[in-house]
Amino acid sequence: MVETLLEIHGLKTWFKTDDGMVRAVDGVDLRIDHGETLGVVGESGCGKTVTARSVLKLIDMPPGRFEGGRILWRGRDLIPLDDQEMNKIRAREIAIIFQEPMTSLNPVYTVGDQIAEVIALHQKLGRKQAMEGAAEMLRLVNIPNPQHRVHDYPHQFSGGMRQRVMIAMALSCQPKLLIADEPTTALDVTIQAQILELMHEMKDRFGMAIMLITHAMGVVAETCQRVTVMYAGKVVEEAPVGELFGQPRHPYTQGLIRSIPRVDRAAEKKQRLEAISGTVPSLLDPPPGCRFAARCRYASDICVREMPPLKEVAPGHFVRCVL
């Protein structure tokens, strides 16, 4: 039996605004096992990032608020922990990397100093040892000439290199789980592939799990074992990656997969790219029914009236749909 690292049950992270409560994450369940890669997909504003930041409790409160649910990290609920206790989990057990490698590093310190800071902070090492650790991390993420590059400043690195530095920093304390919040969105395609490859390599080396948040279905297909699809603050489908792409059950997932650009088909038939019509509903006081009903081609009366439960349609394949 593989150890379950992270289990989220019915997580609700809401934000108080002048117009009312925004239910950014409204009852999300997900699970990550030791050593696996879970993809979390959905369009912008569906709550992927808020879910990720909730896990590390990086949500500013106020305006944010946990309205309910539990975040179990190896069986221990993180929600009641204070900042000091969270700091023992951050980087040491769960680390995160962000979307924007250009701004995620402090411009006034060398990259070595920044990696060494994390190492020194968590492993209580002296500066010299920490700097050696930093150089070693840079070598692991394939930065050429790491002994010299540790003394360079972030602006002397390219976007892809900075993302490597971020990964080095996040992994410097060998966390069990790496949350990657759209790590490749800001990078061009060839660099994207390199970064994904690097993450995969690091995952094997350190035996960690990855929660990969993305909106690129192609990235998911290549790297993940299981996929959770989110829509408007809810999980709509969860399945092993092969099954999700082979037999998507939720109309939203089907729409997402159909909207993946296919170069070969477009060239042959001059087909227009298929899109899901409509926009994401407002998360301020959402209607009671299925959140996707307004854009769903199969929607019926019952969809508008009540929220369908998440039900298991095949082993490990859950769908929130009446169909």
Partner 1 sequence: MTVTQSAPTGVPAPAAAATATTRKKQHFSPWQEVWRRFRRHRLALASSIVLGLIIVTVVFGPLVWTVPINEIDFAAKLQGPSWAHPLGTDDLGQDVLARMIYGGRISLAVGLAAMVVAIFVGVLVGAIAGMASGKVDAALMWLSDLFLSLPTLPLLLLIIYLFRDSLKAVFGVEGGIFIMIVVVIGGLRWMPAARLVRAQFLSLREKEFVEAARALGASRTRQVVQHILPNALGPVIVAATIDVAAAIIQESTLSFLGLGFPPDIPTWGRLLADAKDYLDIAPHWALASGAAIFLTVLSINFIGDGLRDALDPRRVI
Chain residues in the site for partner 1 (CB under 8 A): 56, 58, 83-84, 87-88, 90-92, 95-98, 100, 103-110, 113, 117-118, 121-122, 142, 144-145, 148, 151, 153, 155, 166, 169-170
User: One-letter amino acid identity for 225?
Assistant: Q
Please identify, using beta-carbon distances, which residue of 22 and 150 lies nearer to partner 1: 150
Query: Phi then psi for 69, rounded to 5 degrees?
Result: 95, 175
Smallest distance, partner 1 to C-beta of residue 149, A: 9
Smallest distance, partner 1 to C-beta of residue 98, A: 6
Smallest distance, partner 1 to C-beta of residue 166, A: 7
Residue whose tokens read 């990235």: 219
Smallest distance, partner 1 to C-beta of residue 113, A: 8
CA 48/CA 40 separation, integer angstroms: 7
Please identify, using beta-carbon distances, which residue of 107 and 288 lies nearer to partner 1: 107
Smallest distance, partner 1 to C-beta of residue 183, A: 12
CA 161/CA 146 separation, integer angstroms: 12
Q: Cis bond leading into 251, ω under 30°?
A: no
List C-alpha distances in Å: 261 to 49, 237, 244, 275, 297.
24, 22, 17, 10, 21
Smallest distance, partner 1 to C-beta of residue 106, A: 4
Please identify, using beta-carbon distances, which residue of 103 and 259 lies nearer to partner 1: 103
Residues 6+ apart with CB under 8 A from 79: 57, 66, 69, 70, 71
Residue 118 exposed, middle or buried by CB count within 10 Å (0-12, 13-18, 19+): buried
Please identify, using beta-carbon distances, which residue of 133 and 255 lies nearer to partner 1: 133
In contact, 285 and 21? CB cutoff 8 Å:
yes
Please identify, using beta-carbon distances, which residue of 175 and 251 lies nearer to partner 1: 175
Smallest distance, partner 1 to C-beta of residue 100, A: 5
Please identify, using beta-carbon distances, which residue of 141 and 241 lies nearer to partner 1: 141
Tokens of 57: 């409790």
- Provide the angle, in degrees to the nearest 10, between the axes of the packed helices 111-123 and 159-171: 10
Smallest distance, partner 1 to C-beta of residue 158, A: 11
Secondary element (H or E) of residue 55? helix 48-55
In contact, 277 and 283? CB cutoff 8 Å:
no
CA 287/CA 293 separation, integer angstroms: 10
Smallest distance, partner 1 to C-beta of residue 287, A: 33
CA 159/CA 267 separation, integer angstroms: 31
In contact, 238 and 227? CB cutoff 8 Å:
yes
Please identify, using beta-carbon distances, which residue of 109 and 206 lies nearer to partner 1: 109
In contact, 180 and 97? CB cutoff 8 Å:
yes
- Provide the angle, in degrees to the nearest 10, between the axes of the packed helices 127-140 and 111-123: 120
